[in-house]
Amino acid sequence: MSIRQLPDTLIDQIAAGEVVERPASVVKELVENALDAGAMRVDIDLEEGGTRLIRIRDDGEGIVAGELSIAVARHATSKIASLDDLESVATLGFRGEALPSIASVSRFSLASRRRGSEHGATLQVDGGRVGVVAPRAHPQGTTVEVRDLFYNVPARRKFLRAERTELGHVEEWLRSLALARPDVELRVSHNGKPARRYRGDTDLFSGERLVETLGEDFARNALRVERMLAQGGEGHGARLGLHGWIADPTYSRASADQQYLYVNGRAIRDRSVAHAVRQAYADVLFHGRQPAYVLFLDVDPLRVDVNVHPAKHEVRFRDARLIHDFVQRTLHDALAATRAGNGPLVAAVTTQAEVARSLALPGLPQQGLSLRIDEARAGYAALYADTAGRQMAGEAPMPPADASEAPPLGYALAQLHGIFILSEAAEGLVVVDMHAAHERIGYEKLKRAHDAGGLRTQPLLVPQPVAVSEREADVAEREAGTLAELGFEVGRAGPQSLLLRAVPALLAHGDIEALLRDVLADLREHGASRRVVGERDALLSTMACHGAVRANRRLTLPEMNALLREMEATERSGQCNHGRPTWTRVGLHEIDRWFMRGR
């Protein structure tokens, strides 16, 4: 075949292959256009999962009659005019490709009236064949209709799935758009029936939109995160901010279905940021579970390239490493604040040391760097303040405590089956898994002690021989340094025996022989690469488990109360070392319900 220039319609259809995958991608492009046009309300009508009809109406700026034809022309956009504009683009669209692509694979119509203009107009495009502009009455704003998607591209049409499935994809995109723009009202109808409504004028940070999109359960377990790094003072130079919500580790998911990341308002996927989030959760998430989050990264537009993916699902950061570390550190700190008894909404904590650490982040010049950390003011009550009176499934905010000075986890009443501590708290009954809680407290103590230069050692009055395998004895000899850091002093007494001379002071009261064996087993498994923090943590976690109270140990009330107070003061004490919850609360309202007592 000789080389020839392709006809325009075919070029559009080829471009459509990248831009339009299914009804959901059409909805995404059209709603993004509406948002770029400043719409505050968008109506989305669908038929048959969007395969038969997608109609999007908005109350935005509108398009003048004279520009309707150019709007559906390839490479025509009002959003950028130069490469400079592209480098600092603030709109969701910038390619001038969405409308011509969609119009080339559907029966398409565009109707609009520009703000301030007297008359509306409309234009049809049928499988890429552009009709003529005709007058039509239309309120200010724009309506786009897309019928029979892929009717002229059978190969594509074959890939469309069942109505339910396509509708599900549309809803997922809308959820993602709705999270980014809580100020905009979105109404969805399907097959003529109202299907979904996101109220406008909600404020994401009051938690309302969060409840609308991800449900009460997420909102109830969400931790508010907000941090900003500004270089050279506010409003000048490079800025880097992160805000949003991350779910408490005990609210984890089996799949990665609640992970929303936005860069400058645009929903994207990013492997490096996802990795940073996973690392931040590494120490608190139950094995194999996925964290849930809604995170907004604000990056200087000049330092991020949005033009790297055909459907704009990815971006490229200039300072990828810096952003990775910033996200990881911020979430790590926020998660450290998940102390038992804290309301679910806590801010990333800030200490002097933390500021100093942030200053040492690689990639940002340290000179003239000013750090501003916004402590979120939102509290548990604040989340529900706006929704109060709507009675969230019977779990209204707890009434203020009568004794408001009572500690969050209350005062111990009794021990149940040697496993749980029952405690009377202002809002009702608190149940604590004694071993799980104690284990976390021990673990955090060990980590702190280790960070402060190694675990304190307690010499044994009489050195204790420990029988081990020959390999274990070898490991003990080879790893004498690591063991010393962990607080053990061990010598070799024979081919299969060690002599234990000193043990970690924090754990001196437990079964130290079993402890040493477990540590040796861990060391054997992880080898000598102890510079890796995760492995150090695994060792300390093993040790903490040994130190923790066993089931069936009788505790006195003062001992129980001491444990509760320690939980309140310990970072991450809401979850045990394996990510399981350490405590739960049964509200008085719920107990009332058990007995059908109205209040």
Residues interacting with ligand ATP, by CB under 6 A?
29, 33-34, 37, 58, 60-63, 71, 77-79, 93-99, 142
Q: Report the residue number, 33 or 104, with the smaller CB distance to Mg ion.
A: 33
Choose the one of ligand ATP, Mg ion, none that binds residue 60, judging by a C-beta under 5 to 8 angstroms depending on kind: ligand ATP
Q: How far is the CB of 106 from ligand ATP (least distance, A)?
A: 14
Which of ligand ATP, Mg ion, none interacts with 61 (beta carbon under 5 to 8 A by kind)?
A: ligand ATP
**Least CB distance from residue 278 to ligand ATP, whole Å?**
31
Closest CA to 434 of 562, 540, 537: 562
Give yes or no for residue 33 binding Mg ion (CB under 5 A): yes
Instruction: Output 146 or 446, the one with its CB closest to ligand ATP.
Output: 146
Least gap, CB of 140 to Mg ion (angstroms):
19
Task: Please state the closest distance from residue 141 (CB atom) to Mg ion, in A.
Answer: 15
Q: What are the C-alpha distances in Å from 429 to residues 4, 61, 436?
A: 78, 55, 18
Q: Work out what residue 295 binds among Mg ion, ligand ATP, none; the CB cut-off runs from 5 to 8 Å by kind.
A: none
Nearer to ligand ATP, 62 or 182 (CB): 62
Q: Least CB distance from residue 259 to Mg ion, whole Å?
A: 25
Using CB distances below 5 to 8 A depending on partner kind, what does residue 58 bind out of ligand ATP, Mg ion, none? ligand ATP
Comparing CB distances to Mg ion, the nearer of 33 and 252 is 33
**DSSP labels, 182-223:** TTSEEEEEETTEEEEEE-SS--GGGTHHHHHHHHHHHHHTEE
- Comparison of 34 and 507: residue with beta carbon closer to Mg ion: 34
71 binds, among Mg ion, ligand ATP, none (CB under 5 to 8 A by kind): ligand ATP
* Nearest CB to ligand ATP, comparing residues 70 and 162: 70
Q: How far apart are CA 224 and CA 331, in angstroms?
A: 10
Continuous H helices in 58-153: 68-71, 83-87, 98-104
Closest CA to 50 of 20, 23, 21, 22: 23
Work out what residue 12 binds among ligand ATP, Mg ion, none; the CB cut-off runs from 5 to 8 Å by kind: none
List % helix, strand, coil for the chain (3-state, nearest 5): 35, 25, 40
**Applying CB under 5 A, which part among 32-40, 115-123, 177-185, 323-331 lies near Mg ion?**
32-40
Name the E strands within 248-363: 259-263, 266-267, 293-299, 304-305, 316-317
Residue 25 near Mg ion by CB under 5 A = no
Q: Least separation, in Å, of the C-beta of 77 and ligand ATP? A: 3
Nearer to Mg ion, 114 or 190 (CB): 114
Distance from C-alpha of 321 to C-alpha of 273, rounded to nearest angstrom: 9
| Radius of gyration from C-alpha coordinates of the chain | 30
CB of 29: closest distance to Mg ion in angstroms?
A: 5
Chain-centroid distance of CA 556 in Å reads 41
The answer to whether 547 and 510 are in contact (CB under 8 A) is: yes
Tokens of 410: 């209350």
Least gap, CB of 398 to ligand ATP (angstroms) = 45
Going by C-beta distance under 8 Å and a sequence separation of 6 or more, which residues neighbour residue 562? none
**Nearer to ligand ATP among residue 13 and residue 330 (C-beta):** 13
Which position among 98, 222, 292, 500 is part of the footprint of Mg ion (CB under 5 A)?
98
Per CB under 5 A, contacts with Mg ion among 121-180 are none
How far is Cα 212 from Cα 1, in angstroms, rounded to an integer? 56
> Counting Cβ atoms within 10 Å, is residue 211 exposed (0-12), middle (13-18) or buried (19+)?
buried
- From 66-74, 94-102, 104-112, 156-164, give the range in contact with Mg ion by CB under 5 A: 94-102
CB 60, min distance to ligand ATP, A: 5
In whole angstroms, give the CA distance from residue 383 to residue 394.
16
| Residue of the chain from 49, 62, 93, 587 that contacts Mg ion (CB under 5 A) | 93
Q: Which residues pair with 144 in a beta bridge?
A: 56, 110
3-state secondary structure 516-558: HHHHHHHHHHHCCCCCCHHHHHHHHHHHHHHHCCCCCCCCCHH
Q: Which range binds Mg ion by CB under 5 A, 89-97, 191-199, 292-300, 531-539?
A: 89-97
- Which of residues 33 and 582 has its CB atom nearest to Mg ion in the complex? 33
Q: Cβ closer to ligand ATP: 93 or 547?
A: 93
Q: Of ligand ATP, Mg ion, none, which one sits near residue 94, judging by CB under 5 to 8 A according to partner kind? A: ligand ATP
The one of Mg ion, ligand ATP, none whose footprint includes residue 79, by CB under 5 to 8 A per kind, is: ligand ATP
Question: Binding to Mg ion by residue 56, rule CB under 5 A?
Answer: no
- Give me the least distance between CB of 37 and ligand ATP, in Å please: 3
The site partner of 95 among ligand ATP, Mg ion, none (C-beta below 5 to 8 Å per kind) is ligand ATP
SS3 413: strand
> Taking the complex as a whole, how short is the minimal distance between the CB of residue 543 and Mg ion, in angstroms?
57
Amino acid identity, position 63: I
Smallest separation (angstroms) from Mg ion to the CB of 93: 3
Compute the distance between CA of residue 279 and CA of residue 295 in angstroms, rounded to an integer. 15
Six-digit token pair at 76?
């025509």
Q: Render the burial of 427-462: b for 16+ CB within 10 Å, e for the rest.
A: bbbbebbbbbbbbbbbbbbbbebbeeeebebbeeee
Which residues of this chain interact with Mg ion, rule CB under 5 A?
33, 93, 98
